[in-house]
Amino acid sequence: MRISQIPFRLRRAAVPASILNCLLLGGLILAPAGTRAEEPQVFAITNARIVPVSAAAIESGAVVIRDGIIEAVGAGISIPADARVIDAKGLTLYPGLIDALSNAGLEEASLQPSAATRSTATTQGPATAGLSADEKQGLTPYLQAAELLNPAGRKIEAARAAGITTALIAPRKGIFQGLSALVNLSGISIGTMVVKTPVFLHIGLTRQGVGPTDYPGSLMGILAFVKQTFLDAQRYQLARNMYKANPGVARPEYSRALQALEPALRQEIAVVIPGDTPAQIQRALDLAAGLKLKMILVGGAEAGKMARVLKEAGVPVLLTAKFPERDRDADPEAEEELAVLRRRVEASSHAAALANAGVPFAFESDDMANPRDFIRNVGRSVESGLDRSTALRALTLTAAEILGAADKIGSIEKGKCANLFLATGDIFDPRTRVKLVFVDGRKFEIPEQETSPPQPSQGGGTTAAAGTWTLRINSPQGPLEVTLKVQQFGSTLTGTLTSPFGAVEISEGTVVGNRVSFKANLNASAGGSFIVAFSGTIQGSAMTGSADAGIMGKMDFTGSKSPNEL
């Protein structure tokens, strides 16, 4: 019998002291940093509402985790004697969420030349100092995200706190950017975090990290550069094959970059190409078709408009959840172009359009600063017509399928990786908070300050805005009553706005003197969502102001604070 099979409460009695001391000492030496050697890696999460994604929800069940793997899942399963039991009554257990493209663990790497090609400064000037000839042209398809990963990256912990346990990470500089890796966000070590590498080859179609006089310097030049480079790689591959078959043939000059493109030419690895507008998406499709590449679209800010074309081409989408918002420093009185306003209003509706057309897609954070905004924006897509179960699947099992790891992650099933999180409710409800996360079976408790805001204060000489307010908005369709519940931290406001369209978290909330302002993303009855910017003045328990809904117009409102909070 293995030591891990001995009931935990009996181990000290069952194992001689000398052997036990050796085992404990060995555990202290070999255990990954940040863990306690005495903590068993066997857990039983009981009495939880389980959402496996791959099957119907279990209203009250248990999941057993052993050595990072899901050992059992279901209602009425037996709990091993050596398991540490976690009573999750009242909580919901989800499979860990997957961010289909992130810079978590690569934040610093994206700002520096690669270690493999870094050298002393050259006479090329600061724009190209320390870069190799390949890097100056953005030609680094050989860069491996797995080799650039920093387990101590500052965004890893923040991602876990939002329930994100896995991310696709990729180099993000240049044109031929490099090879992505799928990593579990334990933050322990590179070796324990990498699930799969390489995953895709990533291409960028913008000038990044090249000097002002370097080629290519325009979009047409970049497209020509991409095509020519792949053609060069084809000739390089042919020359190498001829040399191998005929020893008397001259040996081709070695090219690290061209050789790294060969798997893409053989369609052994998909190529991720960006595109947001219909024109950009069509250009990416034409590029891939012309070079006979296996393609995946990334971005897709307006992909819903090209859903039928993407379906016919069989191209999956790593769909951005970074929706356009008005610049917070912009003049609130300045008018915006209709096209800009329309893009903002329609941003959250494209996921539903892709789903309705049968296009496989996963959500990607597009390097958003706050991982919770990533989940919140997926929730906005749900409010805009995306089926709730489809949205959850796009964050879990569908993402795993696109990334080629559905046999390991993406659902709560026996034999899969124990990437899970416990939450207080529906993950698309802005009031839901993540309480406990498992990554590779390793338990991470989310600190209380991560799950609920600190006690509010009224300091700083500002008006006491915290509390529950009833706002009456004079909308074109008639009076509209909403409830604003806010906390105040000096000059910052956080909270929720509840309306007939549902409850949403407010953003950019501030209070200066007796003036307050905040934004809310509301659901449109005809589909889509729109941002409403509120600004008002508080006098005692009364508030007056205006709500700017962009193309839907500006509306006056009055408000009063709940008498119980005066």
67 sits in the region (left: phi over 0; alpha: psi -120 to 50; else beta) called left
Q: For residue 156, name the pLDDT band (cuts at 50, 70, 90).
A: very high
Residue 108 and residue 81 share a domain = no
> Up-side HSE of residue 195: CA atoms within 13 Å toward CB?
28
Say if 252 falls within a structural domain. Answer: no
- The closest alpha carbon to 197, from 139, 148, 261, 266, belongs to 148
Q: Determine the residue type at 56.
A: A
In 40-167, where does DSSP find H-type helix? 133-136, 145-148, 154-161
Distance CA 74, CA 400 (A): 22
164 sits in which H/E element: strand 164-169
Structure confidence at residue 507 (pLDDT): 82
Question: Do 38 and 92 belong together in one domain?
Answer: yes
pLDDT at residue number 344: 82
What are the pLDDT digits (tens) for 200-250?
A: 999 998 765 445 555 676 888 899 999 999 999 999 999 988 888 887 888
User: What is the C-alpha separation between 130 and 125, in angstroms, rounded?
Assistant: 9
pLDDT at res. 528: 57
| DSSP state letters, 251-294 | PPPP-HHHHHTHHHHTTSSEEEEEE-SHHHHHHHHHHHHHHT--
CATH number at 487 reads 2.40.128.120
Is it true that the peptide bond before 151 is cis, omega within 30 degrees of 0?
no
330: amino acid identity, one letter: A
CA distance 186 to 267: 31
User: Is 482 a member of any domain?
Assistant: yes
According to DSSP, the β-strands at 164-169 and 97-102 are parallel
- Structurally, the chain folds into a number of domains equal to 3
pLDDT at 447: 81
Domain boundary among the residues 395, 423, 452 is at 452
364 and 481 fall within a common domain: no
Do residue 443 and residue 513 come from a single domain? no
Whether 388 and 416 map to the same domain: the answer is no
- Helices 371-383 and 154-161 pack at an angle, to 10 degrees, of 40
Query: Is the per-residue pLDDT at 545 higher than 70?
Result: yes
Q: Let me know if residue 276 belongs to a domain.
A: yes
pLDDT tens, position by position, 455-472: 444 444 456 788 899 999
The verdict on residue 123 lying in a domain is no
Can you give 58-73 as a three-state secondary structure string? EEEEEEEEECCEEEEE
Q: In one letter, which amino acid is 174?
A: G
Helix, strand or coil, per DSSP, at residue 462 = coil
Span 18-40, pLDDT tens digits = 333 333 333 333 334 334 444 55
pLDDT for residue 533: 86
Q: Are 226 and 367 in a shared domain? A: yes
Q: Is the dihedral of CA 473, 476, 479, 484 positive or negative?
A: negative
Cα 127 to Cα 174, 217, 397, 546: the distances in Å are 13, 14, 42, 47
For residues 536 and 542, give the distance between their C-alpha atoms in angstroms, rounded to a whole number. 10
Residues 171 and 290 in one domain: yes
**Alpha carbons 549 and 496: distance in angstroms, whole number:** 18
User: What CA–CA distance (Å, rounded) separates 129 from 110?
Assistant: 16
Considering the domain boundaries, does residue 330 fall inside one?
no
Of the listed ranges 29-43, 80-94, 186-200, 340-354, the least confidently predicted one is: 29-43
534: containing domain: 467-565
User: How far is the C-alpha of 188 from the C-alpha of 34, rounded, in Å?
Assistant: 8
Assigned domain for 192 exists: yes
Cα 317 to Cα 314: distance, rounded to the nearest angstrom: 10
Does residue 114 lie in a domain region?
Answer: yes
User: Does 270 share its domain with 296?
Assistant: yes
Residue for token pair 């091993």: 80
C-alpha separations of 119 from 110, 144, 212 in Å:
17, 18, 21
Whether 1 shows a pLDDT value over 70: the answer reads no
Give the end of a domain, one of 421, 452, 483. 452
Q: What is the pTM of this model?
A: 0.72
- For 194, the 3-state DSSP assignment is strand
Q: Read off the tokens for 229.
A: 């480079």
Rounded to whole angstroms, the Cα distance separating 387 from 381 reads 9
Please give the C-alpha separations between residue 566 and each of 120, 207, 559, in angstroms, as whole numbers: 65, 57, 14
Domain shared by 288 and 300, yes or no: yes
111 three-state secondary structure:
helix
User: What is d(CA 163, CA 150) in angstroms, rounded to the nearest whole number?
Assistant: 20
For 181-197, how does the pLDDT look when each residue is reduced to its tens digit (9 = 90+)? 999 999 999 999 999 99
Most confident by average pLDDT, 8-12, 402-406, 526-530? 402-406
Asked if 101 and 366 touch (Cβ cutoff 8 Å), the reply is: yes
SS3 category, 216: coil
| 434 three-state secondary structure | strand
* pLDDT exceeds cutoff 50 at 451: no
Q: Cα(487)–Cα(493) distance, rounded to whole angstroms?
A: 6
Which residue has tokens 């209709």?
A: 338
Distance CA 58, CA 311 (A): 33
For the cut 60, the answer to whether the pLDDT of residue 429 exceeds it is: yes
Q: Across residues 391-402, what is the average pLDDT?
A: 98
Q: Are residues 29 and 107 in the same domain?
A: no
**Residues in CB range of 308: below 8 A, 6 or more apart:** 357
**72 pairs with which residues across the strands?**
64
Residue that terminates a domain, selected from 423, 452, 481? 452
pLDDT of the residue at 140? 93
Same domain for 348 and 478, yes or no, is no
Residue 510 has pLDDT above 50, yes or no: yes
Domain presence at residue 251: no
The pLDDT tens digits for 40-65 are: 589 999 999 999 999 999 999 999 99
CB atoms within 10 A of CB 211: 15
Res 455: pLDDT: 41
Among the residue ranges 268-272, 344-348, 412-416, the one predicted with the least confidence is 344-348
Q: Are 240 and 252 in contact (CB under 8 A)?
A: yes
Residue 122, SS3 per DSSP: coil
**Structure confidence by residue, pLDDT tens digits, 117-148:** 333 333 334 444 455 666 667 789 999 999 99
What letter does residue 32 receive in the DSSP assignment?
P
CATH code, 51: 2.30.40.10
**With the CA atoms of 489, 493, 495 and 500 taken in that order, what torsion angle do they form, in degrees rounded to the nearest 10?**
160
Given a contact cutoff of 8 angstroms between Cβ atoms, the answer to whether 285 and 311 are in contact is no
- CATH number for 133: 3.20.20.140
Q: Are residues 383 and 307 in the same domain?
A: yes
